[in-house]
Amino acid sequence: MIPVSAYAGARVGVLGLGRSGLATARALAAGGAEPVLWDDGEAARGRAAEAGFAVEDLARERAAAGLAALIVSPGIAHLYPAPHPAIALAQAAGVPVDNEIGLFFAALEAAKLDFDEGPEPKVVAITGSNGKSTTTALLRHILAAARRPVQMGGNIGRAALDLDPPGPGETVVLELSSYQTELARALAPDIAVFLNLAPDHLDRHGGIGGYFAAKRRLFEAGAPARAIIGIDEPEGRFLASLIPPEDLIAISASRRLRGEGWPDWRVFMNRSHLTEWRGGRQVAAIDMRACPGLLGAHNHQNAAAAYAAARALGLGPKAIEAGLASFPGLAHRMERLGASPSGVIWVNDSKATNAAATARALAAFEGVHLILGGRAKEDGIAALAPLFPRIAHAYLIGEAAERFAAELGETPQTRCGTLQAAVAAAAAAAAPGAVVLLSPAAASFDQFADFEARGDAFRALAAPHLAPPDAAPRDDREETAR
């Protein structure tokens, strides 16, 4: 745990008692503050009380009186579509509103003032619409494989304040969502990574402009010493244009950045090779066909970002190449579960909670038996239309089933309602060599606690259909980069 001492002796509200909220309460208490906790869920309040914390309704003036700050969990709206009543009350009273990430960076900067035991720890913060979890886990894996001390947290794994205080020369790799970057009062990464932007969380940010502004804060308020920017979308190219060229590494999975006009330091895909270009020449190239956990164009962008960050941290190309080759992939993101005795491949892509993420999965396969649906995002799946020919049959689940059925048009489809029914239908219909892909293009909250729970359920339902690993037939077409 990283203690937060900035509020020692003060009364601090903590709103939202999930993983990050409880970690925040513990860190505040360890730093001498008096945390007062609230969650709209009775079960969460009960767990906080059992842990010994004071629990009061922070939406009531009496409970909110005298707060030095209100610390808000990422899932709670603070502006759009409407602020939570406790946040509205704090804002009206002039009480600072912050989140766990703001406290993390403030605590780390304060600790650095007394850091005289060796090289200061570094923080790499990774954001973007799609791929940030894989990139975060990949960078952690590369550093660990090179025997560099490293911790990983934020929007993946452990909450930021639940991490151990970093030691000399250690790297902390954080995945940060737009919810986390938008509200943090302190942002101070040494290296910041922007992967891409696709429509998501638009209700929380008042539209695509607000969503991009939340991501952009990491580079403006954060002022990183090194910015790594994916330039495959217009927003990335715009953001890159704001960064001093000497502080920028441009990355691309679709452009060969060998011409003029880009910064001196570039990492990009050149056919099947991840290529580093610096000083007007190629300095390294890695054959991504030798990296089975990173197949597909979307993973090539993730690899480019992790490679650039590792190079900025001082690793050599050979050490990075070894880490890329040994990376096993991320659970719930294009996770190959195995194959049936007849050769049907089963893939868990539960983390694909928007159409852009599902598009990346569909682009890797043909003849797909696609399970999709859940709680639809604002833009639905209309953007997938160019990839509909890859779908042999769609199996629709959750709240979005009716809407997605209409958007799929003439694409063969079955409304299944539940994941269990969809798996049974897909298993019965898929021919040898086909792919059964869970890539929902929707949030999970209508039927599951989160995408991990949805992916775990799919894995369990798929298990009876899979052959033992040593008996599963090989299909060289799987996960072919298109």
**CATH number of the domain that 450 lies in?**
3.90.190.20
- Asked if pLDDT for residue 470 goes beyond 60, the answer is no
d(C-alpha 259, C-alpha 232), whole Å? 15
Of 185-199, 348-362, 467-481, the one with minimum mean pLDDT is 467-481
One-letter identity of residue 305: A
* Number of folded domains that form the chain: 3
> 442 and 378 in one domain?
yes
**Three-state secondary structure call for residue 32:** coil
Q: Model-level pTM?
A: 0.82
Q: Both 157 and 73 in a single domain?
A: no
160 and 92 housed in the same domain: no
Q: Are residues 183 and 321 in the same domain?
A: yes
Q: pLDDT tens, 47-96?
A: 999 999 999 999 999 988 999 999 999 989 999 999 999 999 999 999 99
The annotation places the binding site for ATP at 128-134
pLDDT at 460 over 80: yes
- For 367-396, what is each residue's pLDDT tens digit? 999 999 999 988 899 999 999 999 999 999
- Tell me the DSSP string of 401-444: HHHHHHHHTTS-EEEEESHHHHHHHHHHHPPTT-EEEE--SEES
**Residue 135 resides in a domain:** yes
Q: Is 290 exposed, middle or buried (0-12, 13-18, 19+ CB in 10 A)?
A: exposed
- What is the model's pLDDT at position 334? 87
Confidence of residue 427 (pLDDT cuts 50, 70, 90): very high
Is 359:387 a contact under the CB 8 Å cutoff?
yes
pLDDT at 258: 80
| Nearest CA among 276, 291, 253 for reference residue 138 | 291
What average pLDDT score do residues 120-148 get? 95
Q: What is the pLDDT of residue 111?
A: 80
Query: What pLDDT score does 116 carry?
Result: 67
CB count within 10 Å of CB 8 equals 12
252-299 pLDDT, tens digit each: 999 898 877 788 999 999 999 999 999 889 999 999 999 988 877 888
Residue 141 has a pLDDT of: 97
**Distance from C-alpha of 103 to C-alpha of 99, rounded to nearest angstrom:** 7
Q: Quick count: other Cβ atoms within 10 Å of Cβ 289?
A: 11
Measured CA to CA, the distance from residue 307 to residue 314 in angstroms comes to 11
Task: Give residue 313's domain range.
Answer: 117-326
Q: Are 68 and 10 in contact (CB under 8 A)?
A: yes
Q: State the average pLDDT over residues 429-449.
A: 95
Distance from C-alpha of 197 to C-alpha of 163, rounded to nearest angstrom: 28
Shared domain for 288 and 239, answered yes or no, is: yes
Q: With respect to residue 470, please indicate whether it lies within any of the assigned structural domains.
A: no
Question: Can you give the pLDDT at residue 475?
Answer: 38
CA distance 401 to 374: 7
pLDDT interval class at 114 (50, 70, 90): low
Q: How many CB atoms are closer than 10 A to CB 395?
A: 26
- The span from the CA of 379 to the CA of 406, in Å, is 13
* Binding site per annotation, positions: 128-134
300 and 406 co-located in one domain: no
Arithmetic mean of pLDDT, 236-243: 95
Q: What is the CATH number of the domain that holds 230?
A: 3.40.1190.10
| pLDDT reading at 403 higher than 60 | yes
Please report the pLDDT score of residue 479 as a whole number.
32
Q: 94 and 57 in one domain?
A: yes
Q: What is the SS3 assignment for 41?
A: coil
Residue ending a domain, among 275, 295, 326, is 326
Backbone φ and ψ for 415, nearest 5 degrees, come out as: -85, 110
